[in-house]
Every structure is written in structure tokens, then in C-alpha cells.
Amino acid sequence: MKITLETQSPLLSASGESTSFIDADVKYDNYGFPYIQARTFKGLMRESALEVCEILGAGKEKVNELFGLKGNKESGKLVFNNLVIKDYEIITVELEKSGNILSRNSIRKNFTETRQQTSIENGIAMNTSLRKYRLIREGIEFETNIENVPSEDQNFLEDVLANLRYIGTRRNRGFGKVKLVFSGGKSTNNLDGDLKGIVFKENESNPDAKLEFEIKTLDSLLIAKLLGEQNTVSTESFIPGQNIRGLIAGLIIHNRDLVTKTHRDPVFRNIVLESKVRFNNAFKKGFLPVPLIYGYDKLISDAKAEFLFDSKTALKPLHGFARISENEIASGTVSASFSFHNSRTDNRLAGRSTREQGDIFYYESIDPGQTFSGELMGTNSELTYIQSLLEQNEGVHRMGKSKTAQYSKVKFENLKLSLTDTNLISHKSPVFIVFHSPVITYNKFGLAVPDIDVLRKEVALYFKNIKEISVASSFDYVENYMGVWMSKTPREAAFDIGTTLKVEFVGTTEEGIINKLETEGLGERKSEGYGRIKILDLKPDLVRSNEAEKNTLNPKPDSGNSFSIEILKQIFAEQSENDLFNALREKAIGAASLKYGKIPNSLISKLRDLLLASKDLHGWTRELDDLKGKKAHKTLDEANLWEKLYTLATPDILVSTRIDSEFRIRKEYWLAFFDALQVKKLKTVENGK
């Protein structure tokens, strides 16, 4: 069901965030475009659905079936997406092609406005009551799509949307009036239907293979991790193999119609429960976990990344993710944001959360538009089948937390299946084993303990004539949530991602040892995505850099003139004008600093008022003609300003053709000049000089 929402009054769709200037801000994306959160819209529709049921005298079971029930692990049938500005995808594609020449602030200003309000008591404003809000402007159109709408509930949801006329906060102050238009008939989960036609085919030879892929985040993605306060859910900065495994498990269940006794199905058992397929983590494209063998001297600003084992001084270990080349290690980050949510009170008439009822919580999520790369390893038959499943629905699937509202939509792209490299080569000492997923080791009592001796024994099974194994490690805890069982797996300690083993041995390795080690992995629970490792050729003394800083050094192309979409043309024109006026103001302030004390404040105010009232240059000169021969004329002449003011002369600044008149430019410059003089005067008075 496609829905268009038009604001018919300013809308305060508060995000729960504030700044030093804005007490209640709207939610907007990385470009600066405002949007209405899916969870917010879902809550509003649920309230409207309850009202419709009350009006019709119907039971509320249908509401719980469609929207879900608070505190229940079973989600409702409907899947909600964020409401974004109309033609959002087309607009952002063209904006990206321009090199994102439009600033976030310019885009935001085009769609929003600010208002101030205060409380009055006995005719005067109350102390600390002033509030400033950012509002979405009237007349802005948003679009969204509600997925999985059963055909029998189409009419009911149309009534729900017709009943929804006000959204956001401060609705009793005239804010939040909206018009909703809906279209589209039956909206089912096409993915389920498409999956039914895929058949698993066993390959007789069934050689080992590798399936490479990229995952693009279409929505915010929340991969919950063990961190933060009770009311805050934090996200991983990568996509764990366990989540990819869970997604594929769900697809297999739908494809093979495994309602009960799923574990007895041979295909499900081989792929999900046993080790015929190994699930690797997907990291941001081009980046890998930093091997913990690297460190640097924090007392030296440009210190190189050295091997911790080789240094004679204490080094600060490097962490996170990086792009590693022959002579450089460039750190990078995954863009993530926090979103504020609250559950409403049971009393809908309150219109907000109250101290007595209503929960407040924060979700951290990976931002949309980022690409992660990963791979699966296994036999050719299983991976061919998995590739067919992932390619359905144009590669679009949902994973992570909160899959029915706002989060989780991703797209699998560039899937490439290839046979495992049979060119088995040997390696010279040393080799570096880097953990790309947590590695779980059990001690002799069967307890999960990060045990270096256990690691050494496992590695010794692969390499002969070992001289020494050095370990650079850190530890963490792992825990999963099994949606089918609606319970968590046991929480266990493990070696963390990035842990590095330096293995030194006599001579060279046997052919194929490295391939075998990377395929099999280390430690326990390898079928669940743990124990994944990579053998890398690491070198010391790498130059440290930051990928984000590199990107800021690349100038953005000035392609605003090539915009074909009207709204982008308009924003570009406003941004160009604003840039010009900022340059003019800067010049005016500099010029005014040379004239401090030479013009009385009364004359400054008079000239400013005359200029504000002037409609064109002719009107301005006519006003100044009345001052000729008077004291004001003499004062301005002595300050060497009369001729400049008479013509409104401006510095030699490039004038944009988008400014509708040259007089506006001249007027803006001299108004800033007068303002700068007045500010200086006020500061002088305050300081008693």
C-alpha cells in the first residue's frame, strides 16, 4: 500500500534530539532531508486503528494482529518504512552525481523552519520557559509503502488512514495537520511466493566453492550487541556471520515450507546446523579488522604502525577497521546514528508519554547507503542454492532487529560464485593468522575460556616444526538471540575480532595448509559463524592515515548548474546566494573595523533605516540628497564614506547571476557594515570605554 502524506500545517515530528539552539528538532538524514520515522508512523496508525474499532464497535483483535502487541515477541503482519520526501530516490541519485555539492544545512533550511514559544504568567514571560522548535514546513509531501497488507484488511486500513488527520507533537497548537492519500491493492510478501519455485540440486562431484557478495543498507540497520544501558540498544559496526546465517535459515524455511521438525530437513541441517557452509562476517567494503599486532608510539604525532612484538618501547595498540596496503594503514569508520523512541501511554487522550506511563529508549543503527562485503564458503551445491535464495526479490531482504518498522532492509548485490582456488602454494615463515570473527575455545572442563594454550595446540595441528607462536589478543563475550526459540544462546567468553597470531616455523609450510586452515577455522561453534580467520601478509612500519580525512581533501565538483530536478535547482540557488552574502558580510565587517568611532551611533541607525526602506538605488540616492550640506554629510565625508555610500560601492566579489538584482547585493553589504559598527559601539559602551 503506497501512501502519500502532505503537511497542511507546520509539523513538529520531534526526534527527541536537541542542540544548543534547538530544543526540539526533527529527524533528517545524512543529506539533510527530513523524514518521519516508521516507528512513529506505525504508532500513530495503531492509535487511529483503535479509534476506528471504537467507532465501529468492533473488537481490537484485528489491531493486535496487524500491528503486534506490546511485550509480545511475535510482530504484527504489517511492515512499515520511513516516510521520505516525494521522489526521494530520484533526488538523492542526482545529488550524489553532483558530488553532494549541496550542504546539509541548505537542504534542511529548504524543508524546515524554526518557531519560538514561551509561557506567559501575569502578562510577562516566565523564566526559563523559552523554547525553540524546528518544524517541517507546510506543503511538503512524503511517501512511504506499507508492506504485507492482507487483501481482506485493505478497507480497514483505508479507514484507519482516513481517520488519521493530525500527527506529531503540539497538535493542540495548530501543528501537525496532514492529508493522507493511499493507493495500491493487495500487498503481500512476494518473497515467500518467489522462494517456492527454487529447488535444491545436489551436484554429484560437489567441489568446494566460495560465494562472494555485497550488502547495501537501504534502511538503517540495527545489529544489536552487548553494550550500553538498559534503555539503549547499540549496534555492531559490521554484519556478523550469525545474522547472515539467520537470514538464510529463514529463507530455507520459507522455501521448503518447514513448519515443524525443521532440524530434520537434510538441506537445512547441512547448511545451518552442520559445517558444510561457513558464514563469514561482512565488513565495510574495502576495510578489514585491524590486526592487533599493530601499535604506535602515542608520544609521536606521525608515528608509524609497528609490530608490537618487535618494538623495544611500549606501543598503543591500533583498533577498529582499516584499509591495509603495502606501506599504509588507513583507518575507517562505519557511519551510525542514534534514534529516539518512546512508547505511548495507554491513555490516548494524553497525546504523549507521561511520567507514570510510557518508556523511553534509544536505538543506535548503521546508516543507510553503506556497502559491506562478505563471503560464504562451502560446497558448490549448497552455495548455488543459497545464491538463488538471496537473489530473489531483487536481492532485497530484512535482517537485524526491529524488522517490521524502520530498520533492517538491505540489498544483496554482486553475488559471485566461484570454485575454491586449487593452486595450493606453500608459505615461508612467519605467517599471520588474523581473527575475522570471535574465536571460542573450551578448556579441559568444557568451559568457554579464551585460552592461548588451546589456540597454540590447534595451530600446531596444521604447521610442522613450529619455533614460536606469538599472540596479540583481546577478549569479549558473545551471545545470540534465536528467533525461532525466542531465547538467547549461552553467553560465552571468546577471543575478539582482530586477535592476531604470529606463527614462526622452520622452512616452509606444506602445500594447501593455509587453504585448509582458512576453510576450517579455529575453535568451537564454527557452524554458527565463529572461528573465522584469514592468513594475511602483514608488514611493519606502515604509514598511519585516516580514510575520512582523505575524502575531505577531494574537492567536490561544482555541478549545481546541471541539476534537472527543480527542488535541487532551488536549493542550489539559495545556497549560492547565501555563500555570496556570507562573503559580503565578512568583507563588510573588515571594512567597518577601520571606521570604528568615526560615525555616531544615531547616524548609523538613521542610515540603516533609510537603506532598509529603499527599494532601489535611485530611491537610496534621493534619500542621501536630502543630507547634502548638513552635518551628517560632513561627518561621512570626513570618514571617507560619502562617495562609497552614495553609489553603494562593494568590494570586487564574484556576483552570482542567480541573485535577482545587483541592488540586493549592495544593500546586503552595507547593512552588514552598519550592523558591525553598531555591535562595536554596544561593546564599547558595555566595557565603559
558 falls in which pLDDT band (50, 70, 90)? low
CA distance from start to end of the chain: 69
Q: Where are the beta strands (DSSP E) in 367-430?
A: 371-379, 396-398, 409-419
> What's the pLDDT tens digit per position in 298-313?
888 889 999 988 888 8
Q: What is the pLDDT of residue 338?
A: 84
Domain that holds residue 445: 431-536
559 falls in which pLDDT band (50, 70, 90)? low
What is the Cβ-side half-sphere exposure of residue 245, based on CA atoms within 13 angstroms? Answer: 29
- Between 217-226, 340-349, 457-466, the lowest mean confidence (pLDDT) is in 340-349
Compute CA distances 308 → 313, 468, 472, 541, 557, whole Å. Answer: 9, 15, 8, 11, 42
Q: Are 348 and 47 in contact (CB under 8 A)?
A: yes
Using DSSP, state whether 47 is helix, strand or coil.
Answer: helix
- Say which residue the cell 524502520 belongs to: 406
Beta bridge partners of 371: 216
The residue from 131, 157, 188 where one domain ends is 188
Q: What is the pLDDT of residue 352?
A: 54
- Between 237-241, 349-353, 473-477, 584-588, the lowest mean confidence (pLDDT) is in 349-353
553 falls in which pLDDT band (50, 70, 90)? very low
Q: What is the pLDDT of residue 370?
A: 93
Asked if residue 551 belongs to a domain, the reply is no
Per the structure block, which three cell numbers stand in for 446? 568444557
Regarding whether 293 and 414 lie in a shared domain, the answer is yes
Asked if residue 30 belongs to a domain, the reply is yes
Residues of the chain above pLDDT 90, percent: 32
Helices within 495-597 (DSSP H only): 513-520, 547-553, 566-592
Is the pLDDT score of 556 beyond 70? Answer: no
Q: Are 560 and 344 in contact (CB under 8 A)?
A: no
Q: Are 222 and 408 in contact (CB under 8 A)?
A: yes
Q: Are 110 and 33 in contact (CB under 8 A)?
A: no
Regarding whether 368 and 261 lie in a shared domain, the answer is yes
Regarding whether 329 and 219 lie in a shared domain, the answer is yes
The identity of residue 497, as a single letter, is: I
Compute CA distances 84 → 4, 319, 331, 565, whole Å. Answer: 10, 36, 32, 17
> What's the pLDDT tens digit per position in 363-406?
889 999 999 999 999 999 999 999 999 999 899 999 988 888 88
What CATH number is associated with residue 367? 3.30.70
Dist CA 27 CA 33 (whole Å): 9
- Between 34-38, 475-479, 656-660, the lowest mean confidence (pLDDT) is in 656-660
Beta bridge partners of 58: none
Number of structural domains, the chain? 4
Regarding whether 215 and 184 lie in a shared domain, the answer is no
Q: Are 220 and 368 in contact (CB under 8 A)?
A: yes
Average pLDDT, the chain: 84
Q: What is the pLDDT of residue 72?
A: 65
Q: How many CB atoms lie within 10 A of CB 537?
A: 9
> What's the pLDDT tens digit per position in 444-496?
888 888 989 888 888 888 887 888 888 998 998 887 766 555 667 778 899 99
Using DSSP, state whether 410 is helix, strand or coil.
Answer: strand
Regarding whether 625 and 668 lie in a shared domain, the answer is yes
Regarding whether 392 and 334 lie in a shared domain, the answer is yes
Regarding whether 245 and 153 lie in a shared domain, the answer is no
Q: What is the pLDDT of residue 372?
A: 97
191 falls in which pLDDT band (50, 70, 90)? very low
Q: What is the pLDDT of residue 498?
A: 93
- Between 15-24, 135-144, 605-614, 677-686, the lowest mean confidence (pLDDT) is in 677-686
Dist CA 359 CA 356 (whole Å): 9
Q: What is the pLDDT of residue 346?
A: 61
Dist CA 143 CA 293 (whole Å): 49
Write phi, then psi, for 560 (nearest 5 degrees): -60, -30
680 falls in which pLDDT band (50, 70, 90)? low
Asked if residue 554 belongs to a domain, the reply is no
The residue from 188, 222, 249 where one domain ends is 188
Of 122, 212, 102, 200, give the one whose Cα is nearest residue 557.
102
Judge if the upstream peptide bond of residue 430 is cis by omega within 30 degrees of 0: yes
139 falls in which pLDDT band (50, 70, 90)? very high
Regarding whether 327 and 405 lie in a shared domain, the answer is yes
The residue from 172, 188, 204 where one domain ends is 188
Regarding whether 160 and 11 lie in a shared domain, the answer is yes
Regarding whether 440 and 405 lie in a shared domain, the answer is no
Asked if residue 543 belongs to a domain, the reply is no
Q: What is the pLDDT of residue 292?
A: 93
> What's the pLDDT tens digit per position in 162-180?
999 888 877 767 788 999 9
DSSP per-residue codes, 271-297: IIISSSEEEPPBEETT-EEPPTTEEE-
> What's the pLDDT tens digit per position in 592-610?
888 887 888 889 899 999 9
Q: What is the pLDDT of residue 656?
A: 47
Asked if residue 499 belongs to a domain, the reply is yes
2-7 sheet: strands from edge to edge = 84-85, 141-145, 2-7, 178-183
Q: What is the pLDDT of residue 554?
A: 45
Dist CA 137 CA 12 (whole Å): 9
No. of H helices and E strands in the chain?
A: 18, 32
Asked if residue 549 belongs to a domain, the reply is no
Q: What is the pTM of this model?
A: 0.82
Asked if residue 601 belongs to a domain, the reply is yes
Dist CA 89 CA 398 (whole Å): 19
Asked if residue 550 belongs to a domain, the reply is no
Regarding whether 372 and 357 lie in a shared domain, the answer is yes
Is the pLDDT score of 123 beyond 90? Answer: no
Dist CA 140 CA 34 (whole Å): 10
Over residues 617-622, mean pLDDT: 90
The identity of residue 215, as a single letter, is: I
Regarding whether 92 and 31 lie in a shared domain, the answer is yes
Is the pLDDT score of 555 beyond 50? Answer: no
